[in-house]
Chain A
Amino acid sequence: DAKTTQPTSMDCAEGRAANLPCNHSTISGNEYVYWYRQIHSQGPQYIIHGLKNNETNEMASLIITEDRKSSTLILPHATLRDTAVYYCIVRPMDSNYQLIWGAGTKLIIKP
């Protein structure tokens, strides 16, 4: 079973920030939080990951709570091309560990 829970779907207006929550209350100290997205009929795309600290890259920001039991992915200025299913995944530091995929959040960006 997936170790994360996410809302089934969310809407966001184009140009606004999209905030996608994820609960991972059973996360272990050696597990990272990863975010991927999947645009229709394509392979998943890596977005960002983090362990304890907040992270930012050219695509998004990741905010992890101090107790690490939840996190939020922030797309600062959503565009129509950001419409996709977003997956929050936790995995151990073992680099060859398989990813366990939950249902994800279907994010729809509206004009």
Chain B
Amino acid sequence: GAVVSQHPSWVICKSGTSVKIECRSLDFQATTMFWYRQFPKQSLMLMATSNEGSKATYEQGVEKDKFLINHASLTLSTLTVTSAHPEDSSFYICSAPPGGFQSYTFGSGTRLTVV
């Protein structure tokens, strides 16, 4: 089946620094990638949708200048949290739509802690 590899699994960074999260589709081409954020004991909330070769589409209330998304190739999408603050601490998950696989494929998630 389809596999999305997400790195890093966890990261701790200082306030004001930037963090990059990568999601790679290992055995298929992902023209679209969904990026979610999940706070403790809450459900997944869609942040943005990235499309290969074009600008990402952000959900209402998500700052596009803070959460930079790049989908430079059919196998790599990245989310960069710029000038991170403690309130950005969360669990970030990427997901590729099913295409021919029928089920969405999810990365393993990245636990971001900003101190």
Q: State whether A46 and B49 are in contact (beta carbons under 8 Å apart), knowing that A41-B109, A101-B43 are contacts in the complex.
A: no
Q: Which of B12-20, B61-69, B81-89, B96-104 sits within the interface?
A: B96-104
**What's the nearest-Cβ distance from chain A to residue B91, in Å?**
7
Residue contact A42 to B108, C-beta cutoff 8 Å: yes
A98 CB → nearest B CB, Å: 6
Choose from A34, A41, A45, A100 the contact partner of B91 (Cβ within 8 Å).
A41
For the complex, give the distance between the alpha carbons of A98 and B104 in Å.
9
Which of A42, A44, A101, A102 has the most chain B CB atoms closer than 10 A to its own CB? Answer: A44
Across chains A and B, the number of contacting residue pairs, with CB separation under 8 Å, is 51
Known: A95-B98, A96-B97, A103-B43. A43 touches B109 (CB 8 A): yes
Number of residues in A with C-beta < 8 Å to the partner? 20
B residues whose Cβ falls under 8 Å from a Cβ of A: 6, 32, 34, 36, 43-46, 49, 91, 93, 95, 97-100, 102-109, 111
